[in-house]
Structure 1
């Protein structure tokens, strides 16, 4: 998910929202070159889903099926974001997708009042754990991370804790109320599950075996140009932290950068940019998975048109590209394409 440049703290939400809207208003303009709908798109080409706007993709592989969890962008006209629910799709060949419908609404967390922002589902001990960002009610103002659970990857998911896993008050270093967003969860080889998240600051913490409580301290691991959207994965002996980055000195739009480490505890070494910006989109968000021997990176841009609605900051579309590694474990740069995975991987 997005979010903003620095804004003054108070008068609370009304002032912050008005300043944020003013700062980003130029980005809400309808892209003149937004893609028109393709009547018969080639399977595996981008964007993946063309009947609605989707964002913040998070893949999960279960057996011979890849599930993709996304937020549902429903912004109208000049709205910045309007995200009320999460959707899930599945595929067995990366070209043909099945839509399973909504798995949960933001307000299904009774302590939350809005904003179905970025999420990730992981499997552990035969259950499926859903970590996501929402807007907490006024008892704990600001963004918060909730956890839900299901016995099926397609849901329904229900609040597993009855309260937030992380609230804004737990990470007081942040400059704004949406610091605690975009959770990524990862289970290491020893069975320990970790969660990382953040906007402008990146945090990591161990989860207790019950998957609904933080175990120990919250640690900051912010890599260079970190903006939001962290994603943890491991290949061989190397840990990867991939994220939406923003070099404010030279760029307006987010790109994807990454860091690597020999341990989930670090130290993390910055490896540079992995992708450019998403077409017409200020935000971008990575999700990475290995499926049937091939690695993929899921992203979003704002190139889709649905009916009379063109893409914008609150109307994005999920895409996918091949992810490839160099012999030394670093990642090869990813070029975002219209062809996606409808064509073979680049050589």
Structure 2
């Protein structure tokens, strides 16, 4: 059964886009440690030595980002200087199975490292779904426990999964969204969302609450049910490489500007679509390549790596991700 456990794919709507792993740091709110989470991830998906414990299957890309003049009115970050900023990108599938089929009804990720002047860095780690499946670390730990493969079948027990959803209301909005979700035919045909609320800080120290997303120039598309059945296990990487060879791939970065009463620290709740929208820049990727041995492979895309002018909210999921990423990264570097 061990071999089966290593080949599980990410179930639709179940812990969609879990991005946190590792460390012994605990959150005082519920005393969940990231070490507990990484242990459960390993029980669910198995361990691929030297690789990420989540979003294991991925592809690298290189390009640049140019901010708009409007962005500088909200944030003093060098990211929005209007000059080209080099970017290293990584696209990925949720889950810890490096052989997960690319047609799996699971979230896709886009992680970005922006190389700012004076060796500054800005990270953005996003999903192609607008909300998250947990408001607290306890929820996704409990969900992983419910996802443990049954020794007899090598698959999660459906009754345990139903019980989890029934007992964790903060998981239900994403579960409902994923029930009608079909993945994109290409990484280039998906929008990517920051999920959390962040703070933009301008030159006068004024803070604006924002949520960001990257919208593809190639348009958003979803696979049909027939295509999901017919496609091979591996197509996303090759399609991204081929698309980059045809010309630059672009996404516009937009922010939603928060208003009083908008949820700041709960990524399971969406903001109203009526919020002010501001285009703050354009990401252009010029090339894509397999991740092995290339620049994105060894990066720890910690979402709390931020430059002056951008700051985190007190979202407990966002704060949990940083120490978790650190332990996952340490395991990779040590070959575990």
If the length of structure 2 is used for normalisation, what is the TM-score? 0.30
Larger helix percent: 2
Report 1 or 2 for greater relative contact order, CA contacts < 8 Å, sequence distance ≥ 6.
2
Larger strand percent: 1
